[in-house]
Amino acid sequence: MAGVRAAAGVGADAAIARQNDELAPGARTGRGRLAAGRRRQVAGWLFLAPAILYLLFAFALPIAYNVMLSFEQSSPETIASFTAPFAGLANYRFILTDPTTQSAIIHTFEFTAGSLIGQFIIGFALALLFSLRFPGRTIGRSLIIVPWLVPLLVTGVIFKFLFQLEGGAVNQILLDIGLAQHPIDWLETPQLGLLTILIANIWLGVPFFFLLLYSGLQDIPIEVKEAAVMDGAGPWQRLRLVVVPIILPVIEVTVLLGFVFTVKVFDLVVALTDGGPANATQLITTWSYNLSFQQFIFGEGAALNNVLLVLALICAPVYLWLSRDSLRRSTGAGR
């Protein structure tokens, strides 16, 4: 896989780079080689310049400013000004004591855990199914990624339509097959509201899990599968003892990225329930938006943003560790 190729590439790249220096015009003299090397350094930095400027403007600045905001005492009057009076830890005290904020944090955990479990089970089952040979698998495989291509806000709107109280498709199905005696008010019942956004999010996330796990399954050498069959392993044993251990790295990356995507979810909830009923479906993201852009208390919103940022960044070290092959490759290449 990528890691193996990367490790093999390092030595070859280094050899080619040496050769490259020798071949460059003017490389025969030491000074010429130095000048060529320096020119390449400058060129490399110039190629990187737009990206560095963009990262500073669109990531470093907002994160730093968000930290600053979280220590400011903001109000509707301070929206237009860049700074506001210093508030000390007041905004964080608010985050720790406000009941709606507390429930938003709990909902975020429930929503994230539920989504990951649902997306993984369904995505993995579909990946296994489509790894088998049967007529129509190619077209089926490409149709499964459709939900992933629908804009997130639009997904929310679609599910709002499907889960309507009267004339909604979901209630119609439940009534038709006799699972419900009267229409269920999905979007206006607190616990069901959270379940509805969970179902919608699982629907839109399954394609991502499917694609990654499917491509992981394709990388398992055919000999390994055949050997397992020869040894008389049943389907369940093959899955547990052969398939899962081999694609474990892919599973790790997929679940990690799934976590990152899920704690960020915003559009879907805004369209589907807008945090209601009675804040029962507020997540950290939607409640932060509510604090900053609807109650105009940016300081409190920024403090909650930082809680979210820390929560999301918990997985940063794991992500970097899982990407270590790709990182290491960069230090080795061309030296």
Q: Are 35 and 26 in contact (CB under 8 A)?
A: yes
Residue 315 in contact with another protein, rule: CB under 8 A: yes
* Of 194 and 250, CB closest to another protein: 250
Strand partners, 86: 72
Angle at 140 between CA 149 and CA 247, to 5 degrees: 80
- Tell me the C-alpha distance between 21 and 40, whole Å: 11
Contacts with another protein in 293-312 (CB under 8 A)? 293, 298, 301-302, 305-306, 308-309, 312
Q: Which amino acid is at 169?
A: A
Residue 241 in contact with another protein, rule: CB under 8 A: no
Tokens 């025969």 belong to residue: 28
Residue 89 in contact with another protein, rule: CB under 8 A: no
Q: Which amino acid is at 132?
A: L
Contacts with another protein in 51-70 (CB under 8 A)? 51-52, 54-55, 57-59, 61-63, 65-66, 69
How many residues bind another protein, per CB under 8 A? 119
- Tell me the C-alpha distance between 114 and 100, whole Å: 21
**295 secondary structure, DSSP code:** S
Q: Using the rule CB under 8 A, which residue among 7, 11, 26, 39 binds another protein?
A: 39
* Of 105 and 212, CB closest to another protein: 212
Q: Using the rule CB under 8 A, which residue among 203, 228, 275, 281 binds another protein?
A: 203
B/e letters for 281-311, b = 16+ CB within 10 Å, e = fewer, are bbbbbbbbbbbbeeeebbbbbbbbbbbbbeb
Binding string to another protein for residues 128 to 147, with x set by CB under 8 A, is what? -xx-xxxxxx--x-xxxxxx
Q: Using the rule CB under 8 A, which residue among 8, 34, 48, 106 binds another protein?
A: 48
